[in-house]
Amino acid sequence: MDVATRPALASGEFALGGDLRVRRMGFGAMRLTGPGIWGPPEDVDEAIRVLRRAVELGINLIDTADSYGPEVSEDLIRQALHPYPDDLVIATKVGLVRPGPGVWVPVGRPDYLRQQVEMSLRRLRVDRIDLLQLHRIDPEVPVEDQVGALIELRDQGKIRHLGLSEVSVEELAGVRRMTPIVSVQNLYNLVNRTWEPVLDYAEREGLGFLPWNPIATGDLARPGSPLDELARRRGLAPGQLALAWLLRRSPVMLPIPGTSKVDHLEENTAAALIELDDDEYDQLSSLG
């Protein structure tokens, strides 16, 4: 295992659903789009380089969604990486529509979800989506109808595993009474741990937890702060410490930091090589 050139390997592995092995340090492809997660990126060539470099660094979990762009992120992934490496897992999401830049609206009508899965299959040029996540539960549509549409597609062989995004413990447990769920993707980082109960539930139940916005540090990284001082002492970026903390926080944690620049990608992925001692981990834990 050459972690010097493929640092993501140092993050360890997690088996989604018990059979889909991914490295715990992944990549989130949302930021590859234009401002407001709308339209193409300013530098398409750099976006392509980011995706290819992610694979070179040992990352084999790329998280995207039909609404990123919309469609742009999935198109870029196909353009950069198809035909895909055998071990590459592309996780995508459906259930949000985009009326404009920075605007996200849940739509969970079964016919819409089925249509979007079919379009993602076409854009990504795959016969089956390894991990399909419901981006949001639409409060205007019975959850049984939303999940039922995805179960049908899984039964047809078009989806391998199902996941949920931005859900409570009660919602997650309720859907699991209908069908197996292998992962949950909620907002979680060093400074925002609102969904701590969901992470604890995922750990107890052996579900993968994909924290979105994983390297937010906010005021914790201000000059002279404890995080800033620890980062300076270790010769690291504050975001690297935030990622290292996440990886140690739970064995089911699958961070998916995103970026549109190769240099930042390399910096983020190198966080998998960082070993926090007990004092450093406790210090970081107390900051949130």
Residues carrying an active site annotation:
68
Rounded to whole angstroms, the Cα distance separating 281 from 118 reads: 44
Q: Per DSSP, which regions of the chain are E strands?
A: 13-16, 20-23, 27-28, 61-63, 89-94, 96-97, 105-106, 129-134, 159-165, 183-185, 208-209
Contacts of 57 (CB under 8 A, 6+ apart): 5, 6, 7, 8, 265, 266, 269
Q: Are strands 96-97 and 105-106 parallel, antiparallel or unpaired?
A: antiparallel
Distances (CA, A) of 221 to 101, 206, 217, 235, 246: 28, 32, 6, 14, 16
Residue 79 identity (one-letter amino acid) = Q
Is residue 263 within a helix (H) or strand (E), and if so which, with residue range? helix 262-269
Task: Spell out the SS3 assignment of 159-193.
Answer: EEEEEEECCCHHHHHHHHCCCCCCEEECECCCCCC
User: What is the three-class DSSP state of 22?
Assistant: strand
Q: Are the C-beta atoms of residues 259 and 268 closer than 8 Å to each other? A: yes
List the structure tokens of 59. Answer: 């990352």
The answer to whether 52 and 81 have CB atoms below 8 angstroms apart is yes
